[in-house]
Structure 1
Amino acid sequence: MPKSKQRSKGTGSIYQNSREQWVAAIEAGWTSRGTRRRLTLKARTEVEVRARLTDAQLRIATEGPAASFGSVTVKRWADQWLAFRQSVVRPGTFVADRSAVRRWIVPTIGHLRLDALTPSDVRKVAATQEDAGLALATMQRTHAVLGKLLTDAVAEGYQVSQRTREAGSPGAGCSPRQSLSVEDATKILTVAAGRPDVSRWVAALVEGLRPAEALGLTWGMVDLDAETMTLAWQLKALPYVEFRNPESGFRVPRGFECRHLHGAYHLVRPKTRAGSRVIPLVPWLVDALGSWAEQAPSSSSGLVWPQDDGTPRPAELDRRQWYDIVEEAGVTVTLPDGRTRHPLLYEARHTAATLLLANGIDETTIKAILGHSTVLSTQSYLHTDRTRTRAALAASAEMLGLGG
């Protein structure tokens, strides 16, 4: 059997085994049990195995000893990644990441080794979702999760080729969300006016509140005398540590600020600093909230728009009430492919932005009102220019016949 020349200590060894394969071996750190970890590489020729050994030596020198350069599958790494992920991202983000991993990534490519992944494997995940009829936005989200999973694997010391990590996304497309016309928004408000909680829907269509912001708004954050409201919390149902097991406690990442209300519902801080803001109330909404305060269900948490029993209003119920209103109003939106559907609740927020644009309101003011993260100092902007934001919202209310 051919023997290779003696190599310097610590640089690895090269030999040919009984199956006539060329083998390179090098020490790559220590195992969790304190024993030496030996990395073994194989190739058909001595030249190829020398190249692989050189590559491994370079990676060890630049990235440190790897946990493993080849034997870990996507599923095994994904399980480790999710366990770490739950402690560093917002609960909603973790739930979405876990869903993408367990429903699509692992079933499609979980059996493959990280170091053997190819761009076609990445595309296979998107193809599986497309065959299942999923929306492009969902495919893009899953692709982003897979990209993060693979990038973190490399940071941990695993080998994933750069061309695999840079595999193209499923494509770019227009957002399916649309804004409503003034006529349609007015129809919706006409129907909503017959409800005692009409203020909830004006807050969406004129003030541009996110659904979670509206459901998490408390009376302590509403100042009817100053005609302002402070948006500093959102209502979210946090996941349990064990699925559907309240006794297991809640899955809360490090440094995550939240206040427990009822059941799984918590008040949580917005994702970005710009999400916390103080915005003026249009005069019509001031009167509507004053009236609602006298008849709203009593809430131990002080919620402005709770359920009839005073507990937090679930997002599903909130959306269902919105759909009841738009259906009675006879409002639909037409998609680019010609299909029609009822407008989504979140499209009320898009409508608020469109109304502001139609009134010639500058982009900075709109971002400050809506709480977009591109505004670097929303609080200071609103404090120094409250007159401008108040006038902007009043103009939107006027367009919808709420000028009083």
Structure 2
Amino acid sequence: MSQSKQRSKGTGSVYRNSRGQWVAAIEAGWTAQGTRHRLTLKARTQSEVLARLSAAQRRIATEGPAGACASVTMKRWVDEWLAQRQHIVRPGTFVSDRSAVRRWIVPAIGHLRLDSLTPSDIRRVAASQEGAGLALATMQRTHAVLGKILADAVADGYQVAQRARETASPGLGPSLRQSLGVADAMKILAVAADRPDASRWVAALVEGLRPAEALGLTWDMVDLDGATMTLAWQLKSLPYVEHRNPRSGFRVPRGFESRNLQGAYHLVRPKTRAGSRVVPLVPWLVDALTVWRGHAVSPYGLVWPRDDGSPRSAEFDRRQWYEIAEQAKVLVTLPDGRTRLPLLYEARHTAATLLLANGIDETTIKAILGHSSVLSTQSYLHTDKTRTRAALATSARTLGLGG
């Protein structure tokens, strides 16, 4: 059942349609056939559709009715799109979107009008990336950003051909991320065991912590007596409003929850509810963290900081991992036969693979790793730690870490 909102005459109408979308409509002059042109805008929330209606009203006021419904170039639209995007999505997503726009989309098709775009124009973006030797995953990500840009243009009342919006993606390919075998994982742990921060790498290979989760873990979230850790924050470096200008403030969306630590480093909430979870600690990790606590002195209470107590950057963390893997002489083989050092994120894949290999059910694995596809993950974790604790203990024993 639709809901409508009465507005003053000439300011447009706002209502909710049968699909649950908020719709705004406003008169925008006359068509070439002499009929009224009615501009229709859509959004998921009332506040979003009102913002789009206000933007349309400003265009009518400054450009006249014809300008309000005329198409614009991609460059002009994406500038407006990015200005709105920064208030909606997480900082990391915005930086990634902006990079795709400025490096690939605008150079390839920025000069073209929205209403003139064709499938070949859309494919031109992917072709330029392929010519530069970019990975298929990057091409797919840029294509998804471009699709969102065009869909939002239509929602704002611009004309974009459906065939352009439905242009096929660059294709699908196998993920290059792999998991380590038990023998290789044990080699890495053997090297890590001689380091004071050995617990950091066990947390990755057994507990499956995301890098940002590990770097954002604080001691007040670790219960050594209860043998659990609460993963409720991640460490992220947030972008400044003006590049490299701290005084300009940070670029964050509305309602974004964060705690500033030092410089650009912040503790931020996970992207999904499932990302916040309570995970049991295997006994080996409890013992290691008990010892490590005397070494890890940080004014921010971080469990795995730098030697001076400051936040450990993602780059620094990866370098430590690569040093361990290189010393352990562990390499992964890619589908084309090339070899490389294992990626830090592949430690998380290894944790999941170990759980699967030991016969742990998928629901338990998703609960441990914080995957958003499990319904009611929060209540599951709080009501059945016995199962998750037993699952993690099995992985620890497989890697020779005892019970």
Cα distance in structure 2, aligned partners of 1:35 and 1:165 = 29
TM-score (norm 1): 0.86
- 2:209 maps to 1:206: no
| Structure 1 residue identity aligned to 2:383 | T
Match of 2:224 in 1: 224
Match of 1:83 in 2: 83
Query: Superposition pairs for residues 57-76 of structure 1, below 5 Å?
Result: 67-70=68-71, 72-76=72-76
Distance 1:159 1:328, change over 3 A: same
Match of 1:34 in 2: 61
Query: Displacement, 1:68?
Result: 3.0
Tell me the secondary structure at the aligned position of residue 68 of structure 2. coil
| Structure 1 residue identity aligned to 2:290 | G
Q: Contact between 1:28 and 1:36, CA under 8 Å: does it hold in 2?
A: no
Match of 1:259 in 2: 259
Q: Contact between 1:323 and 1:342, CA under 8 Å: does it hold in 2?
A: yes
Match of 1:93 in 2: 93
- 2:390 maps to 1:363: no
Match of 2:123 in 1: 123
| Structure 2 residue identity aligned to 1:69 | A
Larger Rg over CA atoms: 1
Match of 2:159 in 1: 159
- Deviations along 1:19-77, one digit per CA (max 9) or x if unpaired, are xxxxx7966676647378344xxxxxxxxxxxxxxxxxxxxxxxxxx83332x100100
Distance 1:11 1:263, change over 3 A: closer
| Structure 2 residue identity aligned to 1:340 | T
Bigger mean CA offset, 341-350 vs 26-35: 26-35
Q: Contact between 1:28 and 1:38, CA under 8 Å: does it hold in 2?
A: no
Cα distance in structure 1, aligned partners of 2:203 and 2:342 = 16
Q: Contact between 1:69 and 1:157, CA under 8 Å: does it hold in 2?
A: no
Q: Contact between 1:67 and 1:156, CA under 8 Å: does it hold in 2?
A: no
Q: Contact between 2:282 and 2:392, CA under 8 Å: does it hold in 1?
A: yes
| Structure 1 residue identity aligned to 2:245 | N
Cα distance in structure 2, aligned partners of 1:319 and 1:67 = 50
| Structure 2 residue identity aligned to 1:353 | A
Query: Displacement, 1:155?
Result: 0.3
Aligned residues: 358
Q: Contact between 1:200 and 1:214, CA under 8 Å: does it hold in 2?
A: yes
Provide the alpha-carbon RMSD of the alignment: 1.6
Query: Displacement, 1:384?
Result: 1.4
Query: Displacement, 1:116?
Result: 0.5
Distance 1:290 1:119, change over 3 A: same
Q: Contact between 2:60 and 2:68, CA under 8 Å: does it hold in 1?
A: no
| Structure 2 residue identity aligned to 1:233 | W
Query: Superposition pairs for residues 1-40 of structure 1, below 5 Å?
Result: 12-13=31-32, 32=59, 34=61, 37-39=64-66
| Structure 1 residue identity aligned to 2:194 | G
Tell me the secondary structure at the aligned position of residue 354 of structure 1. helix
Cα distance in structure 1, aligned partners of 2:165 and 2:220 = 48
Cα distance in structure 2, aligned partners of 1:138 and 1:268 = 25
- Deviations along 1:278-320, one digit per CA (max 9) or x if unpaired, are 0000000000000100112x21110000011111000000000
| Structure 2 residue identity aligned to 1:134 | L
- For structure 1, the 5+ residue unaligned runs are 1-9, 15-23, 40-65
Cα distance in structure 2, aligned partners of 1:36 and 1:371 = 50
Distance 1:335 1:35, change over 3 A: closer
Cα distance in structure 2, aligned partners of 1:32 and 1:369 = 50
Tell me the secondary structure at the aligned position of residue 321 of structure 1. helix
- For structure 2, the 5+ residue unaligned runs are 1-28, 40-56
Match of 2:392 in 1: 393
Distance 1:113 1:210, change over 3 A: same
Match of 2:193 in 1: 193
TM-score (norm 2): 0.86
Q: Contact between 1:353 and 1:366, CA under 8 Å: does it hold in 2?
A: yes
Cα distance in structure 1, aligned partners of 2:80 and 2:229 = 43
